[in-house]
């Protein structure tokens, strides 16, 4: 559905006095929001253009996120390592340095 189709469907639902949106409208809105968010539009601008509360869009998107889809993973057995590993709060990981080299690096960053 296009944005204008969604706007029309949402307006028609409101005019009918229905408080709950049918699942086909919710799913179409979620699909539209997903595409537009990937293009860089904010959730706030989408909520405004569809005349729906931002929390409603967020809730519908979370509900239709696709729970249950499994992603393949590779299981690796842990290898004992005598060198320290540093993981920063921002997610950077430093491995393979000796303790002396790691301490030097931390002093320089410090």
pLDDT digits (tens, 9 = 90+) for 20-42: 899 999 999 999 999 999 899 99
Q: Return d(Cα 1, Cα 57) in angstroms, integer.
A: 16
Q: How many CB atoms lie within 10 A of CB 18?
A: 10
| CA dist 49 → 18, 32, 60, 85, 88 (Å) | 20, 12, 16, 48, 40
Residue 66's contacts (CB-CB under 8 Å, 6 or more residues apart) are none
pTM beyond cutoff 0.85: no
């Amino acid at each position: 559905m296009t944005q204008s189709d969604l706007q029309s469907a949402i307006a028609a639902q409101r005019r009918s006095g229905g408080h709950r949106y049918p699942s086909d409208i919710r799913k179409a809105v979620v699909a539209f929001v997903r595409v537009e968010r990937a293009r860089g539009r904010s959730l706030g601008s989408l909520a405004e253009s569809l005349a729906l509360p931002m929390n409603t869009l967020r809730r519908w998107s979370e509900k239709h996120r696709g729970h249950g889809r499994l992603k393949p993973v590779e299981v690796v057995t842990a290898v004992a390592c005598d060198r320290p590993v540093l993981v920063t709060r921002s997610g950077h990981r430093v491995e393979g340095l000796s303790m002396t080299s790691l301490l030097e690096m931390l002093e320089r960053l410090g």
